[in-house]
Structure 1
Amino acid sequence: MTAAHRRAAQAGQRAFIVFGGEADQPWLRPLRPGFRHCFAAIADAGGWTVLDPLSGRLVVARLDLPAGFDLPGFYRRAGFAVTGPFTPGQPRRRRLPPLAPFTCVALCRAVLGAGAPFALTPWGLFRKLASSRKKVLTTVSPRDKTDPVKGRVAP
């Protein structure tokens, strides 16, 4: 484990992956409505950091929010689907550089680390994270059991 990964683990980071988006670019239209984009929100002892890969640039924002602010709840109330919390894992060990383009899904998988499921689209990543939640979640609150697609408590 590198020093940076040790610091992240000691900081108690928790990552949430947020899904949503409209087809603001023509190449996004074939993707499933409501799952055309994803980004990461990371909580630590100091607050929230959002990593949002937009077309042509990466936005990294440290949010000025009150202590204990429920950012995942805010995103859910705004109509986004939210998965998490996840503990960011170890980095992937690669011998060759990645051949896939840098996308919002690639960023979210990089935040989650080597244990992140393979997916090419935001909908594919959401399905795999939602189906494997019990294996990777650190804690599950009753709010996290709400189905973000149907808006009701999952069985």
Structure 2
Amino acid sequence: MNRARQAPRLRAARDAQQQVWIAFGGEADQLWLRPLRRGFRHCFAALRDEAGWTVVEPLTGRLLVARLAVPMEFDLPGFYARAGLAVLGPFAPGPVRARTLPTLLPFTCVGLCRAVLGAGAPFALTPWGLFRRLVKILKNDRKNVLTTGSA
């Protein structure tokens, strides 16, 4: 299968019923996070649909899923960016990936964000790795949008 064809795309995200933004940031509040790149020690997903915003954030020891009491038009990605987080999106969630065996990777913030993005999510082990791969997808998609419209 061609992974590039499955990747979350901007054009699809603009028309999707659900849109996903991934936010990156964090300080080393846990000792084991200190080796990770500063500013990219944690990531979480914000989803927008016709009813509003939902945040899915894995915290140490629990999973936070919160439906925010803000209107759908609220600029949540802008709010996070003004708070100092790096925010990428929108992405359209991909289809569910069928597996014959369960994944052997531990449950992390990166794994959760990849699961929210769906089958086309790029492989990454750290928030910085996921950020770099998603930036590459966004750059390629913007380039495709610019070149396909001028033909």
| Same fold? TM cut 0.5 | yes
Q: Which residue of 2 aligns with 1:119?
A: 124
Residue 118 and residue 47 in structure 1: after superposition, are their counterparts in 2 closer, same or farther (change >3 A)? same
1:20-39 → structure 2 map (5 Å cutoff):
20-39=25-44
Q: Does 1:72 align with 2:77?
A: yes
Matched, 1:52 2:57: yes
SS at match of 2:28: coil
Q: Give me the CA root mean square deviation.
A: 1.7
Residue 5 of structure 2 corresponds to none
TM-score of the superposed pair, with normalisation by structure 2: 0.81
Where relative contact order (Cα < 8 A, 6+ residues apart) is larger, the structure is 2
Q: Percent identity between the aligned chains?
A: 70
Name the structure 2 match of 1:6: none
How far the C-alpha of 1:100 sits from its partner, in A, is 0.6
Shift >6 Å, 4+ stretches? none
Please report how far the alpha carbon of residue 13 of structure 1 lies from its aligned counterpart in structure 2 after TM superposition.
0.2
- The number of residue pairs the alignment matches comes to 129
CA distance in 2, matches of 1:94, 1:113: 13
Which consecutive unaligned segments of at least 5 residues does structure 1 have?
A: 1-9, 141-155
Residue identity in the other structure for 1:87: A
Q: Distance in 2 between matches of 1:135 and 1:67?
A: 28
Where structure 2 has 5 or more consecutive residues not aligned to the other structure, the ranges are: 1-14, 146-151
Structure with greater helix share of residues: 2
TM-score after normalising by structure 1: 0.79
